[in-house]
Amino acid sequence: MSEGSRVLRVSEVIAETPQACSVVFDAALDYRPGQFLTLRIPSDECGSVARCYSLSSSPFTGDAPQVTVKRDGYASNWICDHVAAGTELEILPPSGVFTPASLDEDLLLFAAGSGITPVMSIVRSVLAQGRGTLNLVYANRDETSVIFARALRELAAEHPDRLTVVHWLESVQGLPAAEQLRTLAAPFAARETFVCGPRPFMTAATTALKSLGVPRSRIHTEKFVSLGGNPFERATPAPAARQAEPAEEPAALTVNLDGAEHRFAWPRQRKLLDHLLDNGLDAPYSCREGQCSACACRITAGEVKMLNNDVLDSEDIADGIVLACQSLPLTDEVSISYE
């Protein structure tokens, strides 16, 4: 087992559609709506691969935690074909920032295909625990591919004044274009928005929202990509700081995490996340390759450079968001916050 991981037992696998299933865990998990787990999937070729799957359950309904997986390639097929009640799966702790700041706020939600997974967790959580009103635009190929169709119908019937679902079926209406999504979003442009789905859908939805003047800070996106590396198989402790440039003074680092402030000297060649973990901080992470955003934090003073970034866009970066797993200090003093 790798450091920080744990093994969960599967209690049930639910067939959601012909292409998708939910894996229910027999365990208690501390997570926020919209977060994901990283699962270790065995492989004859390379030992194992790591894949992220969003929790579709809510931490506020008393239901067991579950992820929902749509067939799309090696790992997702393995899960749908091999996982059953009693299977044990190694996971990394819940992480991710696709999560509403408040469950009492009204939200506009855009989901397509398996992108409904984290959105479903948000819907269930807001309805169970908050006061917010939800408008969900949910796109799918056709009627048979709508994951959680029944659960959404029941929730909308139970909360007619708080949940409205607009289903968009490609088989009926074609692919949703930005101008069409704009019309659906227009009445709710003042809200926080959450967008998850295939890349063209996310582009159409974010284009629509931007054309309505929704600021980037209110558009939250979750990109479903496969991790290239394997955080389960990498040795967690990184090598000691490089010897090559002994004259380089470390930067002065201030970190706000879990309500506490920490100060460290930060060696210039040491990645921020590695340095925080070396110093015993429980900083969030998953892929450690700049691909998943689990380690995202905000720069509040100073500057860093990122060695790789496959997930943040220019507006995230302009807002001061960086990936801790890829950041090196550029200035003598750097302050970051996970709050």
Ligand X SMILES: Cc1cc2nc3c(=O)[nH]c(=O)nc-3n(C[C@H](O)[C@H](O)[C@H](O)COP(=O)(O)OP(=O)(O)OC[C@H]3O[C@@H](n4cnc5c(N)ncnc54)[C@H](O)[C@@H]3O)c2cc1C
Instruction: By CB under 6 A, name the binding residues for ligand X.
Output: 36, 43-46, 49, 51-54, 67-70, 72-77, 96, 114, 117, 222, 224-226, 292
Considering the complex, state which of residue 29 and residue 334 has its C-beta at the smaller distance from ligand X. Answer: 29
Does residue 228 contact residue 291 with C-beta atoms inside 8 Å?
A: yes
Least Å distance between CB 242 and ligand X? Answer: 30
- Whole-angstrom CA distances from 64 to 29, 38, 264 are 8, 17, 39
Residue whose beta carbon is closest to ligand X? 73
Least Å distance between CB 183 and ligand X? Answer: 28
Considering the complex, state which of residue 201 and residue 266 has its C-beta at the smaller distance from ligand X. Answer: 201
What is the spatial order of strands in the sheet that 192-196 belongs to?
163-169, 134-140, 107-112, 192-196, 219-222
Considering the complex, state which of residue 65 and residue 96 has its C-beta at the smaller distance from ligand X. Answer: 96
Considering the complex, state which of residue 35 and residue 135 has its C-beta at the smaller distance from ligand X. Answer: 35
Least Å distance between CB 287 and ligand X? Answer: 8
Does residue 51 contact residue 39 with C-beta atoms inside 8 Å?
A: yes
Least Å distance between CB 236 and ligand X? Answer: 20
Does residue 244 contact residue 325 with C-beta atoms inside 8 Å?
A: no
Considering the complex, state which of residue 68 and residue 145 has its C-beta at the smaller distance from ligand X. Answer: 68
Q: Which residues of 311-323 are buried (b: 16+ CB within 10 A; e: fewer)?
A: bbeeebeeeebbb
Least Å distance between CB 196 and ligand X? Answer: 8
Nearest to 27, CA basis, from 90, 76, 77: 90
Considering the complex, state which of residue 49 and residue 136 has its C-beta at the smaller distance from ligand X. Answer: 49
Distance CA 115, CA 134 (A): 16
Distance CA 122, CA 132 (A): 11
Least Å distance between CB 224 and ligand X? Answer: 4
